[in-house]
Amino acid sequence: MSNPALRVAMIGHAFMGAAHSQAWRSAPRFFDLPLDPVMSVLVGRDAERAAAAAARLGWQSSATDWREVIARDDVDLVDICTPGDSHAEIAIAALEAGKHVLCEKPLANTVAEAEAMTAAANAAAEHGVRAMVGFTYRRVPAIGLARQLIEQGRVGEIRHVRAQYLQDWIADPMAPMSWRLDKERAGSGSLGDIGAHIVDLTQYLTGDRIAEVSGLLQTFVKERPLAEEHSGLAGTAGSGTGTVTVDDAAVFLARFGGGAVGVYEATRFASGRKNALRVEINGSRGSIAFDFEDMNVLEFFDATEDAATAGFRRILATEADHPYVAAWWPPGHGLGYEHGFTHQVVDLVRAIGDDTDPTPTFADGLQVQQVLDAVEKSSDTRSWQEIPS
């Protein structure tokens, strides 16, 4: 290593922890970075499990007390991969201790928590401490290409935004309870877990923000069998059932500040759909369409072409001049889910090295949280809700 070290502590080591670990390992090996990430310490609640995860995922050490880790002088950045109920406490403590922060989405469980986190991030930025929220789908090369086309005016004046995020992992009513089905820990269900992604992604692509929403939330299965983590009995399933306190599906209409209209759907009950994040944007000069289940492809329609030969063009976003791709494989050798996390680390480390704010900022995460909150209020009141400016 020839650059200054960026010593990282990661809190949490389940699904997102594994994805983030892959990113910290691979980013400095494929991209030129101004700082050298060092995977210093992994934090988990159980000492034995944390130590095993650290060894498996490539961390130098493990710990069980995140407060002690944040206070250490040999930690420069805190990567938060925990459930939403702990994001605010950990992020604010880390920022106040002078540590850069990467926090998984959604930023928080409530608007009030997100506001407090944003205030802490703004205060820390005055001292060169940076904070970023992890909306990784921004870093898919095909999405980066779509944003470039929209910025270049190739789609024209945007009129329609359509976004879906379809999964099916809890479609079985016998799927057990997990923290993602508990409002106290997760904040919301499909709305925050996956709906947050398409809210951020469409606003990122269009360069416009949602101004008003009308939404509907639905819970299809209200009781589920308890799993091991709820029973407290190691190696056994829980007895009885637990109450699902979040939404299983969220649908809403949106008006954008620039005049476009949007239709959004987020569900974990779309049988057969594993991770189908879909976006289509229609404008006065053309359209773009993207489906993450074919993530290396962007569909583009140029409405200015001769109607006799015009049609959607299938663009394989694997050329060296497509965003991020030059660091990887030859054209046609596609990237995968994990690469978005690597690109996230690249952008964050470069921003810290350049002493600039990385994006999306905590303020961006707060704005998404305000949209989610407005959808929930709209569902409760059966009324349109404005998003605070």
Q: Which residues contact 210 (CB under 8 A, 6 or more apart)?
A: 199, 203, 254, 255, 256, 257, 262, 371, 387
Average pLDDT over residues 209-221: 98
Cis peptide before 28 (omega within 30 of 0): no
The pair of structure tokens assigned to 209 is: 């923000």
DSSP assignment string, 115-166: HHHHHHHHHHHTTT--EEEE-GGGG-HHHHHHHHHHHTTSS-SEEEEEEEEE
Q: What pLDDT does 14 receive?
A: 95
Q: What pLDDT does 2 receive?
A: 84
Q: What's the pLDDT tens digit per position in 129-154?
A: 999 999 999 999 999 999 999 999 99
Does residue 229 register a pLDDT over 80? no
Confidence of residue 347 (pLDDT cuts 50, 70, 90): very high
Average pLDDT of the chain to the nearest whole number: 96
Amino acid at 225: P
Confidence of residue 233 (pLDDT cuts 50, 70, 90): very low
Confidence of residue 228 (pLDDT cuts 50, 70, 90): low
In angstroms, the CA 101 to CA 75 distance is: 11
Confidence of residue 156 (pLDDT cuts 50, 70, 90): very high
Q: What's the pLDDT tens digit per position in 360-369?
A: 999 999 999 9
Does residue 234 register a pLDDT over 50? no
220 exposed, middle or buried (CB, 10 Å; 0-12, 13-18, 19+)? middle
Confidence of residue 230 (pLDDT cuts 50, 70, 90): very low
Amino acid at 205: L
Q: What's the pLDDT tens digit per position in 165-187?
A: 999 999 999 999 999 999 999 99
Q: What's the pLDDT tens digit per position in 53-92?
A: 999 999 999 999 999 999 999 999 999 999 999 999 999 9
Q: What pLDDT does 1 receive?
A: 59
Residue found by looking up tokens 């589920």 in the block: 224
- Domains of the chain with CATH codes: 5-136 (3.40.50.720), 141-294+296-335 (3.30.360.10)
Amino acid at 193: D
Q: What pLDDT does 379 receive?
A: 98
In angstroms, the CA 74 to CA 106 distance is: 28
Q: What pLDDT does 389 receive?
A: 83
Residue 166 sits at φ, ψ, to 5 deg, of -115, 125
Confidence of residue 238 (pLDDT cuts 50, 70, 90): low
Average pLDDT over residues 293-319: 97
Q: Which of 232-236, 284-288, 380-384 is predicted least confidently?
A: 232-236
Q: How far is CA 359 from CA 89, 135, 227, in A?
A: 21, 9, 37
